[in-house]
Amino acid sequence: MKRIFDAQLIGPFAAMVIVALIVAATTDRFLNPGNLSNLFLQVSIVALIAIGATVVIFAAGIDLSSGSMVALLTMILAQMLKFMGLPLMLALPLILIVGGMLGLCLGIITSYGRIPSFITTLAALIAFRGLALTFNNGSPIFSLDPGLEPIFYGKLAGIPLPFFYLLFFYGLAAFIMNFTKLGREIYAVGGNPAAAVLTGINVRKVQAITFAIAGFMTAVGAVLMSARLNSGSPNYGQTLELQAIAAAVVGGASLAGGRGNILATFMGAMTIVIVQNGLNLNAAPSSVQNIVLGLIILLAVGIDMWRAELSALLSSLFGRTALQKRS
């Protein structure tokens, strides 16, 4: 357990708590139980997609495609449920497989085709949105399946189901990253690809797998998106890819690869959603929300770039006590 809950969680956790305290100070509705449970529903889609975004970043790649892929996958799911009459229990695994395969394709183009992932997934970001518009003449498809909405709004023992999805997928991701050969190889490839080659790690395969994971998690997010609105639309998922990357970076994942803790990504996603929630509760217009999201992304990348200076500053303030506690 020490391996999973390490010092890398301190900063993102502190950021999340500070943001929550600020929002709580501006409005008393924030700590209302209804709002808090709503928060979990809100964060779930971004946070699940951010798992994939983070794994790709660990291997020193970047995935910009997830927002458009969500739109495409909700349209494919809608098509399957509404027009092809597939049962839900068949359509759901199929859509997860389609997501994984799309991600794998992007990964193969990136690693074996030697096209930088920024370009591959930027192209996919544009193309997937277009592909989503080819279904149903570009119109949204509504009222897909009565069994769909409970996937998002259902509860178990009074707790919203998305909480369990988060628990399951973050638990699985933390296990893979910390206790498996694949996880170690992902960190190795991101940390030093040249050294990884010379230690016999199949660098290209590992890179391709990270994109397959990202595609799969995007599909999980797309299913929740469809379930939440019982529909598919080519307009879903705008800027989701950036929110997912922002969550990873606010969580401390280094864009240079090799460093970061997957659980911190959840805290990063929470931080972003709490800020958005705070703006909502204070009735800020959506224009302000976009500006704030932009600033958060800038700040997050800034934190990544100024890491050395900031950690020197932080350790001079409270780092010493944190280290003492660990030893």
Return residues touching other proteins (CB under 8 A).
Answer: 3, 179-182, 184-185, 187-188, 190-192, 194-202, 258-259
Question: Which amino acid type is present at position 293?
Answer: L
Start-to-end C-alpha separation, the chain: 15
Angle at 67 between CA 66 and CA 69, to 5 degrees: 60
Q: Between residues 157 and 325, which has the closer beta carbon with respect to other proteins?
A: 325
Phi, psi angle pair for 196, to nearest 5°: -60, -40
Residue with tokens 């495409």: 72
Contact 71, 233 (CB under 8 A): yes
Minimum Å distance from CB 53 to other proteins? 19
Give the rounded distance of the alpha carbon of 242 from its chain centre: 9
| In 59-112, alpha helices (H) | 66-78, 88-111
Contact 102, 193 (CB under 8 A): no
Between the alpha carbon of residue 315 and those of residues 106, 263, 264, 300, 305, the distances in Å are 40, 22, 19, 19, 17
Minimum Å distance from CB 257 to other proteins? 8
Minimum Å distance from CB 210 to other proteins? 15
Minimum Å distance from CB 44 to other proteins? 28
Q: Between residues 82 and 259, which has the closer beta carbon with respect to other proteins?
A: 259
Minimum Å distance from CB 315 to other proteins? 13
Minimum Å distance from CB 60 to other proteins? 10
Q: Between residues 89 and 194, which has the closer beta carbon with respect to other proteins?
A: 194
Residue with tokens 């080819």: 134
Q: Between residues 232 and 257, which has the closer beta carbon with respect to other proteins?
A: 257
Q: Between residues 166 and 196, which has the closer beta carbon with respect to other proteins?
A: 196
Tokens in use for 180?
């498996």
C-alpha 301/C-alpha 249 separation (Å) is 7
Q: Between residues 48 and 60, which has the closer beta carbon with respect to other proteins?
A: 60
